[in-house]
Amino acid sequence: MREFRPLVEQALHDAVDEACNGTAEMAPFTQHPLNRCPDVLADAIRYALLAPGKRLRPALVLMAAETCGGDIRDGLPGAVAVEMIHAYSLIHDDLPAMDDDDLRRGRATVHIEFDEATAILAGDALQPMAFAHLCRHIEDPSRLATAVNLLAVAAGPANLVGGQADDLAAERECNEHPNADERKIDASAAEDGRLEKLRAIHRRKTGALFSASLQLGAVLAGANDSMRQSLADYACDIGLAFQVVDDLLDYTADESELGKRVQKDAGRGKLTYPAIMGLDGARRHAGELIESAKQHVSVFGNAAWRLNILADYVLARTH
């Protein structure tokens, strides 16, 4: 992923300048001296979007484009758009009404650095910015329509937003039953559906955007449906593995390395993989998901080498 970073960072900076500095082309009827992004809002957008981070989702877009025989640069519009959606989701997830986090990527969250209203508006702005970026930078009408639909569905009420809603509902349910034993996986855990509920939440909250990232890269490289399906299956397993490891890090990581508060999920009684499966069980489950993901992209042969390295990174990451 390291070699993609300069390309992605430059594209993100250019995209923010385009959207916030008024350099984007506008229809004549929208052109007016006052039609500009307010400075404080632009600052909040930059703070969120350009924050130091793994840039995992943009990397997935570019890797998919390359794996499917395209040029890495073919995927740049999708890489920028998906990171905008991801940044918006983090801003809103961190709000007091949601996860109430004050630290993200080693620094204050947007609503702490600015204020709650500005944070909400920055998240709101990043959503249309993502789709506008696709529209400005994808010339082929068919690929544009497919890309817009992919990202809209992944970010919508049936996936990312719905997954967050279910996550909050599951947290409320756990807090209403604080004495429930969630430290062992056994027949009762399977019967009451907690594990499957958790998987369903994260297939939508995390996996859907991973899948959209890979499929965006494939679409922009002109891949066929079979290639897209293999990448979607890989994304499902990688997305779940990423979340399992995220949950493990909440229990085991150092806060300074992780860049956010640790043991917060456990303290809130949140439904997590270690809470249900135990630490060792969660580690085994993550390993199984990674092996399954690699199997899905074996159809690409040597072209999938980056995706295999990325899968190993997801399992071994420490932040």
What is the model's pTM?
A: 0.90
Per-residue pLDDT tens digits for 130-165:
999 999 999 999 999 999 999 999 999 999 999 999
CA pair distance 111, 113, nearest whole angstrom: 6
CA pair distance 22, 116, nearest whole angstrom: 25
Give the pLDDT of residue 266.
Answer: 63
CA pair distance 57, 79, nearest whole angstrom: 7
The CATH superfamily holding the domain 2-316 is Farnesyl Diphosphate Synthase (1.10.600.10)
> Where do the H-state alpha helices sit in the chain?
5-20, 39-49, 56-67, 76-93, 110-113, 116-137, 141-155, 160-176, 187-191, 194-202, 208-220, 225-252, 255-258, 264-267, 273-296, 305-316
Q: What string of pLDDT tens digits covers the 319 residues of the chain?
A: 678 999 999 999 999 999 998 655 555 555 666 678 999 999 999 999 999 989 999 999 999 999 999 999 999 999 999 999 999 999 999 999 999 999 998 899 999 999 999 999 999 999 999 999 999 999 999 999 999 999 999 999 999 999 999 989 888 887 776 655 444 444 454 545 888 989 999 999 999 999 999 999 999 999 999 999 999 999 999 999 999 999 999 888 776 665 566 666 666 667 889 988 999 999 999 999 999 999 999 999 999 999 999 999 999 988 7
**In the chain, domain spans:** 2-316
* Among 178, 198, 162, CA closest to 274: 198
Q: Do the Cβ atoms of 136 and 296 come closer than 8 Å?
A: no
Backbone angles phi, psi at 139, to 5 degrees: -85, -35
Give the pLDDT of residue 184.
Answer: 46
Q: Do the Cβ atoms of 291 and 279 come closer than 8 Å?
A: no
Q: Do the Cβ atoms of 138 and 144 come closer than 8 Å?
A: yes
Give the pLDDT of residue 172.
Answer: 84
CA pair distance 1, 309, nearest whole angstrom: 9
CA pair distance 305, 182, nearest whole angstrom: 38
Per-residue pLDDT tens digits for 190-242:
545 888 989 999 999 999 999 999 999 999 999 999 999 999 999 999 999 99
CA pair distance 149, 115, nearest whole angstrom: 32
